[in-house]
Amino acid sequence: MCGIVGYIGKRDVAPLLLEGLQRLEYRGYDSAGIVVTSPKTPGLKMVKAKGRVRDLEAKVPARFKGTTGIAHTRWATHGAPSDVNAHPHMSADQKVAVVHNGIIDNAGDLRRKLEADGVEFLSETDTEVLTHLIARSTAEKLEDKVRQAVRVIEGTYGIAVLHADHPDRIVVARNGSPVVLGIGEKEMFVASDIAALVTHTRQIVTLDDGEMATLKADDFRTYTTEGTRTTAEPTTVEWEAESYDMGGHDTYMHKEIHEQADAVDRVLRGRIDDRFSTVHLGGLNLDAREARQIRRVKILGCGTSYHAGMIGAQMIEELARIPADAEPASEFRYRNPVVDPDTLYIAVSQSGETYDVLAAVQELKRKGARVLGVVNVVGSAIAREADGGIYVHAGPEVCVVSTKCFTNTTVAFALLALHLGRTRDLSVRDGKRIIEGLRKLPEQITEILKQEEAVKELAEQYADARSMLFIGRVRGYPVAREASLKLKEVSYIHAEAYPASELKHGPLALIEPALPTVAIVPDDDLLEKNRAALEEIKAREGKILAVAHQPQEKADQTIIVPKNEDELDPILMGIPLQLLAYHTAKALGRDIDKPRNLAKSVTVE
Ligand code: M6R
Is residue 571 within 8 Å of residue 442, measured between CB atoms? no
pLDDT in tens, 461-476: 999 999 999 999 999 9
Reduced to 3 states (helix: H, G, I; strand: E, B; else coil), residue 226 is coil
Q: What is residue 195's predicted lDDT score, i.e. its pLDDT?
A: 86
Q: What does the DSSP assignment read for 119-172?
A: PPP-SS-SHHHHHHHHHH---SSHHHHHHHHHHH--B-EEEEEEETT-TT-EEE
Gyration radius of the chain's alpha carbons: 25
What confidence category does residue 80 fall into, taking pLDDT thresholds of 50, 70 and 90? confident
Give the position, in ligand 1's atom list, of the atom nearest the Cα of 351: 1
The CATH number of 246-450, from 3.40.50.300, 3.40.50.2300, 3.40.50.1820, 3.40.50.10490, is 3.40.50.10490
Q: What is residue 240's predicted lDDT score, i.e. its pLDDT?
A: 75
Q: How far is residue 306's CA from residue 301's CA, in Å, rounded to a whole number? A: 4
Distance 400 CA to ligand 1 centre (A): 8
409 CB under 6 A from ligand 1? no
Enter the pTM of the model. 0.86
Q: How far is residue 578's CA from residue 561's CA, in Å, rounded to a whole number? A: 13
pLDDT in tens, 210-232: 999 999 999 999 999 999 999 98
Give the chain's count of helices (H) and strands (E): 19, 27
Give the position, in ligand 1's atom list, of the atom nearest the Cα of 601: 1
Reduced to 3 states (helix: H, G, I; strand: E, B; else coil), residue 80 is coil
Give the position, in ligand 1's atom list, of the atom nearest the Cα of 303: 12
Which of 251, 304, 601, 602 to probe ligand 1 with, by most ligand atoms within 8 A of CB?
A: 304
Give the position, in ligand 1's atom list, of the atom nearest the Cα of 598: 14
Distances (CA, A) of 2 to 47, 290, 592: 17, 41, 19
Query: Where does residue 269 rank: exposed (0-12), middle (13-18), buried (19+ CB within 10 A)?
Result: exposed
Which of 177, 307, 333, 351 to probe ligand 1 with, by most ligand atoms within 8 A of CB?
A: 351
What confidence category does residue 594 fall into, taking pLDDT thresholds of 50, 70 and 90? confident
260 CB under 6 A from ligand 1? no
Q: What is residue 61's predicted lDDT score, i.e. its pLDDT?
A: 94
What confidence category does residue 530 fall into, taking pLDDT thresholds of 50, 70 and 90? very high
* Alpha helices (H) in 469-526, listed in sequence order: 476-491
Is residue 245 within 8 Å of residue 219, measured between CB atoms? no
16 CB under 6 A from ligand 1? no
Q: What is residue 601's predicted lDDT score, i.e. its pLDDT?
A: 75
Query: Is the predicted pLDDT of residue 101 greater than 90, yes or no?
Result: yes
pLDDT in tens, 538-561: 999 999 999 999 999 999 999 999
Is residue 586 within 8 Å of residue 592, measured between CB atoms? yes
Which of 75, 252, 354 to probe ligand 1 with, by most ligand atoms within 8 A of CB?
A: 354
Number of Cβ within a 10 Å radius of residue 6: 31
Q: How far is residue 56's CA from residue 50's CA, in Å, rounded to a whole number? A: 8
Distance 480 CA to ligand 1 centre (A): 16
Q: How far is residue 553's CA from residue 551's CA, in Å, rounded to a whole number? A: 6
Q: Which of 366, 374, 201, 307 minimizes the C-alpha distance to 571?
A: 307
Give the position, in ligand 1's atom list, of the atom nearest the Cα of 382: 4
Distance 305 CA to ligand 1 centre (A): 6
Query: Is the predicted pLDDT of residue 243 greater than 80, yes or no?
Result: no
Options 2, 302, 399, 405, the catalytic residue: 2
Q: Which of 591, 599, 570, 601 minimizes the C-alpha distance to 483?
A: 570
557 CB under 6 A from ligand 1? no
Q: What is residue 1's predicted lDDT score, i.e. its pLDDT?
A: 64
pLDDT in tens, 331-390: 998 988 999 999 999 999 999 999 999 999 999 999 999 999 999 998 888 999 999 999
Give the position, in ligand 1's atom list, of the atom nearest the Cα of 405: 3
Instruction: Write a three-state SS string for 21-40.
Output: HHHCHHHCCCEEEEEEECCC
Omega of the bond leading into 88 within 30 degrees of 0 (cis) = yes
Percent of the chain with pLDDT over 70: 100
Q: What is residue 579's predicted lDDT score, i.e. its pLDDT?
A: 98
Span between the terminal Cα atoms of the chain, in Å? 11
DSSP-assigned letter for residue 237: -
The helix or strand, by DSSP H or E, that contains position 174, with its residue range, turns out to be strand 170-175
603 CB under 6 A from ligand 1? no
Mean pLDDT over 254-268 rounds to 97
Is residue 512 within 8 Å of residue 469, measured between CB atoms? no
- Told to judge if 302 belongs to the known catalytic residues of this protein, a careful annotator would answer no
Q: What is residue 411's predicted lDDT score, i.e. its pLDDT?
A: 98
Give the position, in ligand 1's atom list, of the atom nearest the Cα of 401: 16
Distance 6 CA to ligand 1 centre (A): 26
For domain 3-244, the CATH superfamily is Aminohydrolase, N-terminal nucleophile (Ntn) domain (3.60.20.10)
Distance 317 CA to ligand 1 centre (A): 24
Is residue 18 within 8 Å of residue 56, measured between CB atoms? yes
The helix or strand, by DSSP H or E, that contains position 267, with its residue range, turns out to be helix 260-268
Distance 514 CA to ligand 1 centre (A): 30
Sequence letter at residue 384: R
Is residue 585 within 8 Å of residue 490, measured between CB atoms? yes
Q: What is the mean pLDDT of the chain?
A: 94
Which of 402, 590, 593 to probe ligand 1 with, by most ligand atoms within 8 A of CB?
A: 402
- Told to judge if 65 belongs to the known catalytic residues of this protein, a careful annotator would answer no
Mean pLDDT over 598-604 rounds to 77
Considering only CA atoms, which residue is closest to atom 6 of ligand 1? 302
Residues of the chain with CATH 3.40.50.10490: 246-450, 451-590
Distances (CA, A) of 111 to 106, 130, 149, 526, 604: 9, 9, 13, 60, 21
Beta strands in 219-271 (DSSP E): 219-224, 229-230, 235-236
Reduced to 3 states (helix: H, G, I; strand: E, B; else coil), residue 86 is coil
Q: How far is residue 258's CA from residue 107's CA, in Å, rounded to a whole number? A: 45
Options 48, 488, 586, 600, the catalytic residue: 600
354 CB under 6 A from ligand 1? yes
What confidence category does residue 6 fall into, taking pLDDT thresholds of 50, 70 and 90? very high
DSSP-assigned letter for residue 284: G
Distance 69 CA to ligand 1 centre (A): 31
For domain 451-590, the CATH superfamily is Glucose-6-phosphate isomerase like protein; domain 1 (3.40.50.10490)
Number of Cβ within a 10 Å radius of residue 391: 23
Query: Where does residue 90 rank: exposed (0-12), middle (13-18), buried (19+ CB within 10 A)?
Result: buried
Comparing 177 with 392, which gets the higher pLDDT?
A: 392
351 CB under 6 A from ligand 1? yes
What confidence category does residue 79 fall into, taking pLDDT thresholds of 50, 70 and 90? confident
Residues of the chain with CATH 3.60.20.10: 3-244
Q: How far is residue 47's CA from residue 162's CA, in Å, rounded to a whole number? A: 14
Dmax over CA atoms of the chain, in Å, equals: 79
